[in-house]
């Protein structure tokens, strides 16, 4: 008997207590091992319209809802007795008459009139908004996966009710309607069997070649086959949304397509860029069995996260793991340098800062601050590996626009030239020098270490790292595949990819469907950014038509008189989320920098809950609330998030502003600080609270417009 679990089951499982979840998992394991076990207490659900719905007793009050046929057992839902039976009474499993996909459909007659929920913006009664889909034929709506009994509701939906309606529809239908509402053309998946209209009537079809509707791409998104006990264990231990197993059908073409040059996939937070990167890497490993693939990103922390997600994706395919390596860019550079040359002696950041100050003082150049010297070195001289006065004089200072007369540049170059000499004398190097040296060696070699490279979070890779990647990916036209979001650039200055040989014009694609973050949170966070962002080479990322596929409460932005009041409110807010069933590891608290971590600790301590402070070596824990800086939050996701201590002079950080000597540099500081707050807010799936102490960050005014 085929054994499957539905996304609705894992979602409902996550809302139970820890002890209840353990009991449910035990029952699920028993069902998979022997569905006919006489110890399993199956009860027919008389109120259910679908005759194949049964309940399975887990405990005195917990019931597991299954859909059972002679050939298949599908775990659909779990909850307390009455709620579980009510859920089953309102649903049925059926094959869509036009797409051929198996769907879990809400029975229309069991739902009262759809109303705009409290968290949708208030509608003025005198304004009657027109229906969005009045001109679309039944045939077209059916082809998008809309169940027949919901056609009338779809026709009446306007821009205020479409999101609430989408909650009741299968995901492919909801996403298609949201596409249409934003002016896009939905992609229609091919049906799993050939169907032809009967007697010229467009909504009656006969099946010519029948194939299992559960194997339709849309069905695979919600009903996952469990082939063995190990797969089921992984499924029950990780939330459904963290499974990087099945792509959205619209993204599959991006994964499998052959390109004639480097590719960049962009999209706002939550649109699945990392999932796309993972699937691209695995796809390449499968179709090129003799190739070596590198999946990389800019930090060790994110590389570790990719490694964990890859294990969920490839399951029991160890041969793919043998040919697919995951390292951060700096780690793979150090590894290759050690393998080809010797163990590199890389100077630490604090050492180079002190060396710059020491050299400047020795030469008598006291007018430049230590911070200015370091950022000029890091972002210009070392980043571009400038080795002469002429190259420094003529460099285009993108993202580093402080006006420097030639006389001042000459003084600065004297400092930097001396620093370069000191490094050579000490046999020390910088990580940028390492990347650049390897790039030159790779350009001379006909045997690069990797055939294909997939890069996640590409918006934060450095000049030297991109130069290294350009050399790594020179052997095939489609060797390089990038994913990233300009709106999440928080570590690097902007620079021209084209100048380093990476031309993505015509091969740049934007993901538009947000799966991770509710409509309300995404809409609020987007206020921090412009609707369009462009890189130095003029490639535009349009964020205006991004859509979220589910609703949630409106985010809260609160300003308090003092820290004590803020801490009290946060403690109460987190406690309320726990009472709603959100688990500790599903909550995160973020602050701008390490100096505010103690403030976050006080808020959690007041609840008497355990917490863990995340750093590069620490991962989230099942029994703790996660605390970290906004920078460390990159790549993470939680059901409930608090972004606290958003005070004046904390974000944007006053220390950064005070180091700026030019208005154009100040703009770059403000941009990256905005991006940082955007990253923090979009780690939230369902609930978001943003707080500060009066007068509060100026960004909160924009966020709260």
Closest CA to 505 of 543, 531, 538: 538
State pLDDT tens for residues 375-417: 899 989 999 999 999 999 888 765 555 567 888 889 999 999 9
Give me the residues paired with residue 92 across strands.
105
Percent of the chain with pLDDT over 70: 89
H-helix segments, 229-328:
229-237, 249-256, 273-287, 300-314, 318-323
State pLDDT tens for residues 181-222: 877 788 776 654 433 333 333 343 344 445 789 988 888 888
Neighbouring residues of 338: CB distance < 8 A, sequence distance ≥ 6: 344
Distance CA 12, CA 10 (A): 5
Neighbouring residues of 349: CB distance < 8 A, sequence distance ≥ 6: none
State pLDDT tens for residues 241-288: 444 455 666 788 899 999 999 999 998 888 889 989 999 999 999 999
At 265 the pLDDT is: 94
DSSP state of 526: G
Judging by DSSP bridges, how do beta strands 62-68 and 53-57 pair with one another?
A: antiparallel
Instruction: Put residue 550 in one of left, alpha, beta given phi > 0 → left and psi -120 to 50 → alpha.
Output: beta
Closest CA to 595 of 644, 561, 559, 560: 644
Percent of the chain with pLDDT over 90: 51
- Characterize 192-230 residue by residue with b for buried, 16 or more Cβ atoms within 10 angstroms of its Cβ, and e for exposed: bbebeeeeeeeeebeeeeeeebbebbbbbbbbbebeeee
Distances, alpha carbon 648 to alpha carbons 335, 557, 653, 654, 693, in Å: 43, 15, 8, 8, 8
State pLDDT tens for residues 262-273: 999 998 888 889
Distance CA 256, CA 243 (A): 20
Average confidence (pLDDT) over 479-495: 88
CATH no. for 2-96+212-242: 3.30.2310.20
Tell me: pLDDT of 92 over 90: yes
DSSP state of 251: H
Distance CA 510, CA 573 (A): 35
Q: How far is the first Cα of the chain from the last one, in angstroms, to the nearest whole number?
A: 55
- Model's pTM, two decimal places? 0.76
Average confidence (pLDDT) over 62-79: 95
Distance CA 330, CA 621 (A): 27
Residue with token string 């550079």: 333
Q: Domain locations in the chain?
A: 2-96+212-242, 104-188, 249-341+443-514, 351-428, 553-703
pLDDT: is 49 or 190 the higher one? 49
At 189 the pLDDT is: 64
Regarding the domain delimited by 249-341+443-514, which CATH topology (the fold level of the hierarchy) does it fall under? Rossmann fold (3.40.50)
Can you give the length of the chain in residues? 705
**The two domains 2-96+212-242 and 249-341+443-514 share their CATH topology (first three levels equal):** no
Query: H or E element: which one contains 602?
Result: helix 597-605
- Quote the tokens at residue 591: 């602050």
At 196 the pLDDT is: 38
Q: Mention the CATH class of domain 553-703.
A: alpha beta
24 backbone dihedrals φ, ψ, rounded to 5°? -65, -45
Q: How confident is the model at residue 605 (pLDDT cuts 50, 70, 90)?
A: very high
Tell me: pLDDT of 593 over 50: yes
Q: Is 556 helix (H, G, I), strand (E, B) or coil?
A: strand
Q: Contact at 8 Å (CB) between 269 and 485?
A: yes
* For residue 676, cis peptide bond before it (omega within 30 degrees of 0): no
Distance CA 472, CA 480 (A): 9
- Quote the tokens at residue 490: 């928080």
DSSP state of 682: T
Distance CA 465, CA 289 (A): 27
State pLDDT tens for residues 307-361: 878 887 776 677 888 889 999 999 999 999 998 888 999 999 999 999 999 999 9
pLDDT: is 424 or 175 the higher one? 424
Neighbouring residues of 408: CB distance < 8 A, sequence distance ≥ 6: none
Distance CA 5, CA 236 (A): 10
pLDDT: is 81 or 171 the higher one? 81
């Amino acid at each position: 008997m085929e054994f499957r679990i539905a996304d609705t089951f894992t979602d409902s499982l996550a809302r139970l207590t820890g002890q209840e979840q353990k009991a449910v998992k035990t029952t699920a394991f028993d069902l998979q091992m022997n569905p006919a076990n006489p110890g399993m207490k199956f009860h027919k659900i008389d109120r259910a319209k679908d005759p194949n719905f049964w309940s399975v007793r887990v405990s005195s009050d917990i019931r597991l809802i299954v859909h059972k046929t002679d050939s298949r057992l599908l775990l659909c839902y779990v909850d307390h007795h009455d709620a579980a039976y009510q859920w089953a009474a309102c649903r049925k499993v059926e094959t869509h008459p036009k797409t051929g996909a198996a769907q879990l459909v809400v029975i229309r007659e069991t739902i009262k009139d759809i109303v705009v929920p409290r968290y949708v913006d208030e509608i003025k009664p005198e304004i009657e908004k027109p229906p969005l889909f009045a001109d679309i034929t039944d045939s077209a709506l059916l082809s998008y996966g809309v169940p027949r009994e919901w056609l009338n509701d779809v026709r009446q939906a306007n821009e205020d009710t479409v999101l609430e309606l989408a909650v009741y529809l299968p995901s492919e239908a909801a996403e298609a309607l949201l596409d249409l509402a934003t002016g896009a053309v939905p992609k229609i998946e091919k049906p799993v069997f050939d169907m032809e209209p009967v007697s010229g009537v467009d909504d009656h079809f006969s099946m010519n070649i029948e194939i299992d509707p559960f194997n339709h791409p849309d069905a695979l998104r919600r009903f996952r086959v469990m082939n063995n006990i190990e797969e089921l264990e992984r499924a029950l231990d990780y939330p459904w949304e963290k499974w990087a197993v099945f792509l959205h059908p619209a993204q599959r073409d991006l994964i499998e397509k052959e390109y004639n040059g480097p590719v960049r996939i962009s999209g706002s937070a939550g649109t699945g860029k990392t999932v796309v990167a993972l699937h691209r890497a695995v796809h390449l490993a499968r179709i090129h069995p003799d190739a070596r693939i590198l999946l990389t990103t800019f930090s060790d922390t994110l590389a570790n996260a990719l490694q964990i997600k890859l294990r969920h994706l490839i399951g029991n395919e160890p041969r793919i793991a043998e040919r697919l390596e995951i390292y951060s860019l700096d780690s793979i550079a150090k590894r290759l340098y050690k393998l080809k040359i010797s163990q590199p002696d890389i100077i630490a950041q604090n050492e180079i800062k002190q060396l710059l100050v020491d050299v400047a003082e020795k030469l008598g150049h006291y007018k430049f601050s230590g911070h200015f010297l370091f950022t000029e070195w890091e972002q210009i001289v070392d980043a571009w590996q400038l080795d002469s006065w002429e190259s420094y004089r003529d460099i285009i200072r993108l993202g580093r626009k402080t006006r420097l007369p030639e006389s001042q540049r000459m003084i600065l170059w004297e400092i930097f030239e001396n620093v370069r000499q000191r490094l050579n004398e000490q046999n020390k190097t910088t990580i940028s020098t390492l990347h650049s040296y390897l790039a030159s060696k790779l350009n001379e070699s006909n045997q690069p270490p990797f055939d294909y490279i997939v890069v996640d979070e590409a918006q934060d890779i450095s000049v030297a790292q991109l130069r290294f990647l350009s050399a790594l990916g020179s052997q095939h036209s489609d060797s390089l595949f990038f994913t990233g979001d300009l709106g999440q650039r928080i570590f690097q200055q902007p620079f021209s990819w084209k100048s380093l040989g990476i031309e993505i014009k015509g091969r740049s694609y934007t993901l538009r469907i947000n799966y991770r973050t509710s409509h309300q949170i995404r809409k609020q966070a987007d206020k921090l950014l412009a609707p369009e962002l462009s890189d130095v080479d003029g490639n535009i990322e349009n964020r205006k038509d991004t859509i979220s596929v589910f609703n949630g409460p409106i985010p809260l932005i609160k300003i308090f008189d003092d820290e004590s009041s803020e801490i009290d409110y946060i403690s109460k807010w987190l406690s309320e989320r726990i009472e709603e069933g959100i688990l500790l590891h599903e909550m995160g608290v973020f602050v701008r920098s390490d100096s505010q971590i103690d403030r976050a600790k006080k808020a959690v301590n007041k609840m008497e809950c355990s917490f863990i402070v995340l750093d590069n070596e620490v991962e989230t824990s099942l029994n703790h609330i996660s605390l970290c800086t906004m920078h460390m939050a990159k790549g993470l996701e939680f059901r409930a998030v608090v972004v606290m201590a958003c005070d004046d002079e904390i974000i944007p950080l006053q220390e950064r502003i005070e180091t700026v000597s030019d208005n154009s540099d100040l703009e770059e500081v403000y941009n990256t600080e905005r991006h940082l707050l955007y990253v923090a807010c979009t780690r939230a799936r369902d609930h978001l609270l943003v707080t500060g102490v009066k007068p509060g960050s100026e960004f909160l005014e924009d966020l709260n417009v």
